[in-house]
Chain A
Amino acid sequence: MFNPRDIIEILAANVRQTKSPFGIPKFMANTWHKDLCLPKEGEYLLFTGLMYQFAPYIEKSTQYLEKYEDTKIAGYLKYTRLLPGYFSGIGLAMMTKPKEKKKAAKPLKDIAYLLQKSKVNFGYRPDLDNYSGILLYDMGDQQGFIAHAKKVARQLQDAGIKKIITIDPHTAYAFKELYPKYTGFGFDVKQYFELLNFEPKDCGLEVTLHDPCFFGRYQKLSDVPREQLSNMGISVTNIRNQGEFTSCCGGPAESISPRLSNEIMEKRAKELQASGKPIVAYCPICLGNLKKSGADVQDLSTLLAKHA
């Protein structure tokens, strides 16, 4: 286990300096939209919160953390917060393979495609799309979270944004529950899969769905993806721990203890693999973490886009 204080202070300094917990400049991380010509205006603003974009960098940094957990070198980690945020962020971005970055863009492109196909009136403004700060909240840095969230919310408010579409459970939770409470700014928040509308199909497939804690339990939204899949003729295997009683993928512990994260992930992967059906996740953290176990797992958006 790493010293939590070292990790929190690094993440907090990065968010303060660069608006990203990993220090990666937005122009390097948020490139998925460049070849799509998405409209800028619409009834809703697509707000990705950059979580899917960060996934390959999280994976890369976790590989290093895994190497040094509980070694003497771990004690030197605290000094990295003395480096300018962008310095370590650009380094991390350079070490991450372009192939991995391209893979991370796929769910984002699929989501934009699904929304367009469902005739949802939305726009995308990369200048307004920022990280929500949720990791600081989860780590207990309340002060850092509120300061960052106020900046993000004010920018949206100043641009006249009232309705947003989120695509991951953590950003959705931040905007639904935390932003109104801590920033004073409230938005009408919809998750992308709540807005999809397709002709019924009969794909004749069966999958195992991994519900993320923040959708299954915190927001009680796990029925909606099941309805979307059912509409396409894709049935979902019943497993013991699902919906409101879903099990954690272990992802949230990966910065503090990759070893603990792996233990939890292995347990969950076994549960999901028991049915022998392909696994579907709908959170970038769960997706990345379950993939590490070697499981056959894909994002919900990828499956829906393939059959829509």
Chain B
Amino acid sequence: MSLVTLDFAEELKEYCGDNAFECFNCGTCAAICPLVHDNFPRRMIRYIQVGARQKILENSDELWRCLHCGLCTQTCPREADPGEIILGLKRFVVANWRKS
């Protein structure tokens, strides 16, 4: 079972703004990503949208597979800037490690 954190989007604003809500889950980012790995980065963005804070923390290692190459941002039809969202999630996770 996964818990949903209702104010997760608010908490994330400090780290990556609120661009994740521009995303309509078309999957272009996952298709173009050189990692070709388990719906990355789309799945992480979906987690933000539904408030799955714990899921992101549990799967946080995946974020560092991202090469920050920017292809997802370049091709996103909604200009949601997935590359920056992933970078913002890294900031969020690092801040959480250091708080704990």
Contacts and interface: CB of A to CB of B under 8 A. Distances in A.
A3 interface: yes
Q: Chain A: interface secondary structure?
A: helix
Interface stretch (B2-10, B17-25, B42-50, B65-73): B65-73
A248 B65 contact: no
Interface in A1-60: 1, 3-5, 7-8
A142 B64 contact: no
Interface string A237-270: 0000000110110101100110010001001000
A249 to B, nearest CB: 9
Contact of A248 (B63, B67, B91): B67
B91 A264 contact: no
Interface in B46-100: 60-61, 63-65, 67-71, 74, 87, 89-91, 93-95, 97
A1 B64 CA distance: 9
Interface stretch (A80-88, A133-141, A196-204, A276-284): A133-141
A253 B65 contact: yes
Pick from A142, A143, A250, A260 the residue with the most CB of B within 10 Å: A142
A218 B64 contact: no
Contacts of B95: 142-143
Pick from B67, B68, B71, B89 the residue with the most CB of A within 10 Å: B67
Given A217-B71, A253-B65, A264 B94 contact: no
Given A139-B64, A256-B64, A217 B69 contact: yes
Contacts of A108: none
A213 interface: yes
Pick from A4, A7, A143, A267 the residue with the most CB of B within 10 Å: A4
Nearest to B15: A142
A253 B89 CA distance: 17
A213 B95 CA distance: 27
A244 B74 contact: yes
Contact of A139 (B60, B65, B90): B90
A139 B68 CA distance: 9
Given A217-B71, A217-B74, A1 B34 contact: no
B65 A257 contact: yes
B66 to A, nearest CB: 8
B60 to A, nearest CB: 8
A250 B67 contact: yes
Contacts of B74: 217, 244-245
A140 B88 CA distance: 7
Interface of A: 1, 3-5, 7-8, 138-143, 213, 217-218, 244-245, 247-248, 250, 252-253, 256-257, 260, 264, 267
Given A248-B34, A256-B65, 5 more contacts: A4-B60, A142-B91, A217-B70, A252-B67, A257-B65
Interface of B: 15, 34-35, 60-61, 63-65, 67-71, 74, 87, 89-91, 93-95, 97
